[in-house]
Amino acid sequence: MARARAWGRARSNRKGTFDPQDSKRVKHTRIGVWDLYEEINPDLENIPGSTRLEKLLEAYACLPYLLRMLKDILSIRSCWVMLVAYLAADFSNSLLPAASLWYSGQLISILQTAIDTRTVDKDLLFRICLGRIACSVGRRLLNYTRQELRLPLSRRLKQQYTVYLFHARARLDLPTFEDPMVQRQLEEASSTSGSIAWDTLTMASGIISTALQVVSQISVLAKVLGAHDDGLLLAVLSFASTWTDWMSRWNVLASGQVWAATTKDNDYIRMVGLKHVVNNVEHRKELIAGNLSEFVTEEFKQLSRKVGPDNAVDFVELRRASLNRERFGFLSLLQDPLRELPQIAFTLRAVQYPASMPVSLASLNLLQQTTSQFSYTLWRFIEQTGSITDQLAAVRKLYSVAHIPNRIPDGTVPFPEDAQKLRHGVALEFRNVSFRYPGSERYALRDVSFKLDAGQLCVIVGANGSGKSTILKLVARLYDVENGQILLDGHDIRTLRLHDLRQATSVLFQDYTHFPLSIRDNIALGDPAHFWDDEHVRRAARLGGAEEFIDRLPEGFDTYLERPVSDYFSGMPEGTKTLFGRPIDYSGVRGAGRMSAHSGPSLSGGQMQRLAVSRTFMRSVVSEDAKVGLLLFDEPSASLDPTAEHDLFARLRELRGNKTMVFSSHRFGNLTRHADLILYMNDSVIVEAGTHDELLKRQGEYARLWMLQAQAFL
């Protein structure tokens, strides 16, 4: 018993687990309207300095990612030449301040000699001046080179990582992509995608060049201060101020790594909701027709007052503010006085022991200048290294998003074994399937079983929310079943290669969407293998009943349903007047640029649905070599007029025997009468199953609904 408890405890302490209920492991704080949950690392909590050490080790663990990034950057075409030039300019530039310092020293000692002895070595003076000028010109040129290389280099990096992130996003499956945590990770990696690489690069080169600066300045400093008794003291003091700065930085970095924040403040949530209502174009129809503008403004005003200016802020901003407050500790108070320390100490020493004063004011000045320059460079070095751990973590995050594990694991069995077999459709079977959507307690399907032979037609009917669409989504493996099995030609679909499974099926979703691409591309994406075949695209549009209206559009198949790139306009509001009374009117420039007056979709609901159907046909019917054996249609005719619906179903019925088809529908008759199998669903289960005649004979729910619909026409 005791052993079991000990084992249980050890298990709950397992590294990486995060249980929000456990107050020993999770610290809960409130920041404004937000609840912040931070993981406490109990193993390290009691050892002083261990979090800092962990942070360092973590930074060390990030180094392979840094190397990978460097390799990736160097593999970009024409990048490495620019990069080498950039780094060369950067590093050479870092040596120049020391040289300038040395020349300044020389100038001052010439001056000193001139005052003391009234003689000047003109030749030396000339060379020193020349050297000093060369240093400044050199600095300027090197800076210019760096600036010029900066833009093309950073753009190339940006392009590389934009493509990388595009793929990192594209490869995710639905449950993974839907997870808000994953969304956040992707957002973080992409908001600064190009710049993570660029920032890391500039930071690394910055650190190296500052290190070079420190070393070169130390050598000058050693020369200047070496002659002086207090040299060491001054060097130590100038280091002290930077040290405190460094410590306060690490304190911030060490605070919480695994954390999550949420808000349950209904006023704040409503406020953000109202903001969306007003900001997004898709809500505008309802806003106008519902006469809502005054009401929502008043509501927003009230809520805004209720939530308060300090709380109505998004989490990132609030957290930053609270971290800054934490950072403003005792050490940070010391920072500025410490920075003054070298000068004060030096003066005090000079007053106390006048004999130790430098022989001249000139060398005193030099001493001062060198010390302050050195301490500034040192401070910069510390500052740069302080944030490198964060930067390294960002690099690691960037490379990790490509490996976010998909929740739907791939299978290994190729499908179909024999391509010829697909020509007659595939057999589909559900065996005791139960399923709940991720995060949901309620079963969307409970113990669902049915069997469909190759080439058969199945229609699923039933009330809203009864589980019809869920059946179709599970066949496409958008989600995996919780219990039971789905079999295609006798194979559990989880064993099949995902790519093959999806190649063999074609789904028209109930909540289909159109891509913000041209109409042509929208249809053509149904079958990437024939994407460039215009003839195929046209035939698919014809079969889907879309060809006619597409041809009537001014830009035909090239019409964009929704322009993904927005136009830019000057900030002058239309309808107002300029200072000299000229009315502001954009129609001229818009006409010249052939810009559209609105950005929303310019098609009717039914036309949109015809396009979606066309895409399905592109995938499954148009080409001879289509590898699709199973067609899934979720309410394909919901927005179609009766003629279009009739034509669509007539066309689909022709496919019987060649493709297995599953429909979900609320309309009885046209389709159900021809179905080999009707499933009547209610509340997540199949209540009745059979053909139309069988179900009518049974006098059950299906029969009742059929009568209801038929009566409407009598």
Ligand X SMILES: Nc1ncnc2c1ncn2[C@@H]1O[C@H](COP(=O)(O)OP(=O)(O)OP(=O)(O)O)[C@@H](O)[C@H]1O
363 binding partner (options ligand X, Mg ion, none; Cβ < 5 to 8 Å by kind): none
Give the span between the Cα atoms of 349 and 342, in whole angstroms. Answer: 10
Tokens 């399905």 correspond to 616
Tokens 């209904």 correspond to 266
- Does residue 469 interact with ligand X by CB under 6 A? yes
What is the arrangement of strands in the sheet containing 457-462, beginning at the earlier edge strand?
505-508, 630-634, 660-664, 457-462, 677-682, 685-690
466 binding partner (options Mg ion, ligand X, none; Cβ < 5 to 8 Å by kind): ligand X
Which range binds ligand X by CB under 6 A, 305-313, 385-393, 462-470, 669-677? 462-470
Main-chain phi, psi angles of 583, to 5 degrees: -70, 140
Near ligand X by CB under 6 A: residue from 191, 464, 578, 711: 464
386 binding partner (options ligand X, Mg ion, none; Cβ < 5 to 8 Å by kind): none
Comparing CA positions, the residue from 414, 424, 422, 425 lying closest to residue 491 is: 414
Give one word for 635, left, alpha or beta, with left for phi > 0 and alpha for psi -120 to 50: left
Q: Which residues from 506-525 bind Mg ion, rule CB under 5 A? A: 510
Give the span between the Cα atoms of 302 and 293, in whole angstroms. Answer: 14
437 binding partner (options Mg ion, ligand X, none; Cβ < 5 to 8 Å by kind): ligand X
* Residue 395: burial class (beta carbons within 10 Å; 0-12, 13-18, 19+): buried
Q: Which residues from 364-403 bind Mg ion, rule CB under 5 A? A: none
Minimum gap (Å) between residue 448 Cβ and ligand X: 11
Comparing CA positions, the residue from 77, 52, 530 lying closest to residue 253 is: 52
Give the span between the Cα atoms of 404 and 696, in whole angstroms. Answer: 51
Which range binds Mg ion by CB under 5 A, 167-175, 434-442, 464-472, 492-500? 464-472
Minimum gap (Å) between residue 468 Cβ and ligand X: 4
- Does residue 470 interact with ligand X by CB under 6 A? yes
Strands (E), 454-504: 457-462, 483-488, 491-492
- Does residue 440 interact with ligand X by CB under 6 A? yes
- Does residue 304 interact with ligand X by CB under 6 A? no
- Does residue 465 interact with ligand X by CB under 6 A? yes
Strands (E), 293-442: 428-436
Near Mg ion by CB under 5 A: residue from 469, 609, 637, 684: 469
| Secondary structure class of 567 (helix, strand, coil) | coil
Which range binds ligand X by CB under 6 A, 53-61, 320-328, 463-471, 560-568? 463-471
467 binding partner (options ligand X, Mg ion, none; Cβ < 5 to 8 Å by kind): ligand X
544 binding partner (options Mg ion, ligand X, none; Cβ < 5 to 8 Å by kind): none
* Residue 575: burial class (beta carbons within 10 Å; 0-12, 13-18, 19+): exposed
Which range binds ligand X by CB under 6 A, 298-306, 457-465, 531-539, 556-564? 457-465
Q: Which residues from 230-259 bind Mg ion, rule CB under 5 A? A: none
Q: Which residues from 529-568 bind ligand X, rule CB under 6 A? A: none
- Does residue 513 interact with ligand X by CB under 6 A? no
Size of the site for ligand X (CB under 6 A): 12
- Does residue 510 interact with ligand X by CB under 6 A? yes
Q: What is the number of other CB atoms lying within 10 angstroms of the CB of residue 460?
A: 25
Q: What are the residues binding Mg ion (CB under 5 A)?
A: 468-469, 510
Q: What are the residues binding ligand X (CB under 6 A)?
A: 437, 440, 444, 462, 464-470, 510
